[in-house]
Amino acid sequence: MEAGLGDQIKSLRYAFEIQKTNKVVLACSSELASVFAEDFISVQHEAAGGVFHDYHCQSMSAPLPLKLEMSDITGKPYIKRTAEPISGRVGVRWQGNPRFDHDTHRKFPAELMFDAVRGQDCTSLQRDTDDVPSWMNKVDLSDWTKTREEISKCELVISSCTSVAHMSAAMGVPTWIIVPILPYYLWAMPGNKSKFYDSVTLFRQEKYGDWSAPFTQIKETLKCSHSLKIAV
């Protein structure tokens, strides 16, 4: 596995392809090791050098040796839920890792998200901040086991392009992602859907520096829906 946590979650799908004909050992970030270990032998990056292997492949390059085309990509879930969804529960994440070099393009004012989802039964999926409205449920997000459980409880997750969005989508939870003008490559194809995740709906920024369009659309979609099951 390589790059950020979201990249690793997205690339996990290829390990299932390789596992059809090979024994797979995943070298990944320590935060995700316990999740990935449910399906594969997993080691933290620091321990990878001591693992015997016949072949080695960087995860983001895996489609090349697998000879995968876009038509071969499936958007079916590949990470299991760990809890039953709570009716009406919306998980909200409004900011990614500020150390990510693309963060300046995906970052938007948190107030836009708060205004769009106000009135819903919301759980904050935002770590490392005190900037959580009093009307949002605050839960334990101290590791990925706990975060995954809280995502599992959601009928809908709304997020910028973050690792939480990838985890939610990989679990098959309906996931709305706010996408900047310069998008992550999984969201680069036109339209509001992604070949990589069946459960994803994209809400796109229409003008650089102006985030009003996607949040107006999110607010109206939630308002016009009789229930979340219709909205997603």
- In order along the chain (232 residues), what is the average pLDDT of each group of 10 residues? 92 94 91 92 75 87 92 94 94 76 70 92 89 91 95 96 95 96 89 95 93 93 64 46
Confidence (pLDDT) at 47: 67
Rounded distance, CA 219 to CA 208, Å?
20
Q: What sign has the CA pseudo-torsion 221, 183, 79, 125?
A: negative
Tell me the C-alpha distance between 175 and 155, whole Å.
9
pTM over 0.95: no
Question: C-alpha angle 143/199/21, rounded to 5°?
Answer: 75
Task: Indicate the DSSP class of residue 185.
Answer: G
pLDDT on residue 231: 44
Phi, psi of 121 (to 5 degrees): -80, 90
